[in-house]
Copies of this chain bind each other. A is one copy, B any other.
Amino acid sequence: MSVTQPVRSPRRRAPRNSLNPDRILDAAIRLLDRQGTEAFTMRALAQQLGVGTMAVYSHFRGKDEISDAVAHRLLDTIELPPAGSGDPRAELREVCRGVYRLFSEHPSALQLLTMRPVRGDDAISVVDRMLALLREAGLSRTEAAGAHVALMQYTVGSALWCTRRARAMCEEGARDRVRAKIDALPRDRYPALVSLAPELLRVQDNGGAQYEIGLDAMLEGLLGGI
């Protein structure tokens, strides 16, 4: 048996000059989506690329720069609905749904955003579109700005809430533990909570439908009187 060749490296070296920022970002997003932010490590990233850890530093200044680039790239993939339907409210709802969908599909991207301070321009085309629609719906300049921020805040909060719950629920026997905790609650101290526990659990099991509830309410409150 020849000794010149290693027995079998776990992942053969990538050929020289095959590494580039795009491949790195692809791998980073895959890693984040499949294993979460905890597994998002410079060493793990490099290993998935079949490259030494420090090779990545030839294309990015460091982990923070990669995180920013990942966030930027994902925010740019938000799909906007076709314009000019004549129904700004329906279009607005579609834009919000698009943002929510992205965060649901890439929960770790959301977590990344909550950890790092704002750096890149956050999905400017989405912001522009929403502001235009809010103005079109009849809001004043100040009202439109406030409504846009409120809608984004709700969307982020909703996606984050569901992500957190999903992570907790996929743990071993999490469902039973929640059930046990609720059953142990003193009925006389928390009557409403004990009574509505089934509805509370059910409502949170379908993140998308729950998001619509708040979105409808928020839109109604923001645009309703107009």
Cα distance A155–B153 in the bound complex, in angstroms: 8
Report how many copies the assembly holds: 2
Of the stretches A8-16, A27-35, A162-170, the one at the interface is A162-170
Q: Does A192 contact B (CB under 8 A)?
A: yes
Cα distance A128–B149 in the bound complex, in angstroms: 29
Q: A157-B160, A199-B145 are in contact. Are A150 and B217 (CB under 8 A)?
A: yes
Q: A160-B156, A196-B141 are in contact. Are A128 and B191 (CB under 8 A)?
A: yes
**Would A200 and B145 count as touching, CB distance under 8 A?**
yes
Q: A118-B164, A144-B196, A161-B152 are in contact. Are A124 and B221 (CB under 8 A)?
A: no
Residues in B neighbouring A167, C-beta threshold 8 A: 117
With both beta carbons as reference points, the residue of chain B lying nearest to A203 in the complex is identified as: B145
Q: How many residues of A contact B (CB 8 A)?
A: 65
Cα distance A191–B96 in the bound complex, in angstroms: 20
From the candidates B132, B190, B193, B203, name the one contacting A146 in the complex (CB within 8 A): B203
**Would A124 and B217 count as touching, CB distance under 8 A?**
no
**Would B157 and A158 count as touching, CB distance under 8 A?**
yes
**Would A168 and B117 count as touching, CB distance under 8 A?**
yes
Binding site for B on A (CB under 8 A): 111, 113-115, 117-119, 121, 124-125, 127-129, 131-132, 135, 141-142, 144-158, 160-161, 164-165, 167-168, 171, 181, 185, 189-193, 195-196, 199-200, 202-204, 210, 213-214, 216-222, 224
A–B Cβ pairs within 8 angstroms, 13 of them: A114-B164, A117-B164, A118-B164, A135-B192, A135-B196, A149-B210, A150-B210, A152-B157, A153-B157, A153-B210, A157-B160, A220-B220, A220-B224
Given contact pairs A131-B200, A147-B217, A149-B200, enumerate 10 new A-B contacts (beta carbons under 8 Å).
A115-B115, A119-B168, A128-B193, A132-B192, A145-B202, A146-B203, A149-B203, A153-B210, A154-B154, A154-B157
